[in-house]
A = this chain, B = another copy of it.
Amino acid sequence: MSNQIFLTPGPSALYPTFEKHLRTALDAQIPSISHRGQKFQAIYRETFEALKELFELPDNYAVLFCSSANEIWERLLMNCVESHSFHLVNGAFSKKFYQFSQQLYLHSGHQTALFGEGFVLEDIQIPKGTELLALTHNETSSGVIMPEATIHQLATQNPDCLTAVDMVSSAPYPQLDFSKIDSAYFSVQKAFGMPAGLGVWLVNEACLAKAQKIEKEAKNRSTGTYHRLIDLWETFEKFETPETPNVLSIYLLGKIAQDMLQKGIKTLREETDLKAKMLYDFAEKTEGLEIFVQNPEYRSPTVIVINTATDSSEIIKKIATKGYVLGSGYKDYKNKQLRVANFPAISVEKMEDFIKVLDQSL
């Protein structure tokens, strides 16, 4: 038994109730049930309803299951873009989404911010004819957020294009107004504290209509096969999936979403803010540490990136012997930064303890 506390930006620490729900699922033989029966339909419905409440989804939204956020990027481009998507790129993951558009031979564009910087609303130039605007609430690689207000304004200012929001490593923290945007998505191995293997796609009827339009009008333009948005949506309407899905994870996600609802999303956000403040404050006042994201407005509450004066890999090694696993900086920043996930699985007390350990490890 290793018993380390994972503060890695995904996969990360399991949600405290994860094992209890897993035990219940195994006792109820959830892994063996048919995905074409009423038991599975009830599970899908329950998970849908919990997520609908957690994210305050309007009635024109579906909750669809893919295998990863990578898959959702691909499906969004195949189903909601005939030719032009536009990507606000400020890190490795928003860049990868843009690159997917190139691999699909779309005529997409992007505007790029420096690594570690956010976008100023006034500087954003969205080309005419953009069909899908790809925004990132939380860039996992850089720890930069796009504030909800900016997301909402961009969506409102561009009513002719669909808006999709990456909240892979922040959901359910951001308070998105889903009546303003058209889609958002996340992976369960981040803030939901589950094993990887499920991507969750929140998507509205405008996206579905776009997929239908592409199929009707774009000659020889495929929207995919089993995970065409049209197929995903049709099966969703009876709480089924096109293929045999990750039934166990869909069940567990529903249970953890219910736990979050019971705790209260407001409390969850307040605790996240409190823990983030504790860690940012510590980094600010501590010699040898520096907050990477200069502008406080763009600092992520869920993925906190800290520059280290000395080789960060040595600090990470030292901290590991004291029971905490941290993320290193992304790619070029590997030995220069710590990336600390501040997900709901980590309590305020645990964050306090971690900060002490970090202090002793510098």
Interface flags, A233-249, vs B, CB<8A=1, else 0: 00000000011111111
* CB-defined contacts of A67 to chain B, threshold 8 Å: 66-68, 71, 197, 246
Chain B's nearest CB lies how many Å from the CB of A42? 15
- Secondary structure dominating the interface of A: loop
B32 touches A8 (CB 8 A): yes
- Shortest C-beta distance, A106 to chain B (Å), equals 9
A138 to chain B, nearest CB (A): 16
Of residues 58 to 81 in A, which have CB atoms within 8 Å of B's CB atoms? 66-71, 73-74, 77
Q: Give the Cβ gap from A140 to chain B, nearest Cβ, in Å.
A: 10
Write the nearest CB–CB distance from A129 to chain B, whole angstroms.
Answer: 19
A194 at the interface (CB under 8 A from B): yes
B27 touches A2 (CB 8 A): yes
Chain A window 216-227, contacts with chain B (Cβ cutoff 8 Å), 1 for yes, 0 for no? 000010111111
Interface residues of A in 1-15 (CB under 8 A from B): 1-4, 6, 8, 10-14
Task: Decide if B226 touches A71 in the complex (CB within 8 Å).
Answer: yes
Contact with B along A101-120 (1 / 0, CB 8 A): 00111000000000000000
Q: A195-B247, A196-B246, A249-B197 are in contact. Are A14 and B2 (CB under 8 A)?
A: no
CB of A225 within 8 A of CB of B1, answer no
Nearest residue (CB) in B for A3 is B29
Task: Please give 18 more A-B residue pairs, beta carbons under 8 A apart, in addition to A69-B243, A105-B222.
Answer: A8-B34, A13-B32, A14-B32, A30-B195, A31-B194, A31-B195, A35-B196, A66-B67, A67-B67, A67-B197, A67-B246, A68-B243, A68-B245, A70-B225, A71-B227, A73-B225, A74-B225, A196-B244
Interface of A with B (CB < 8 Å)?
1-4, 6, 8, 10-14, 19, 22, 26-35, 66-71, 73-74, 77, 96, 99-100, 103-105, 187, 189, 194-198, 220, 222-228, 242-249, 325, 327
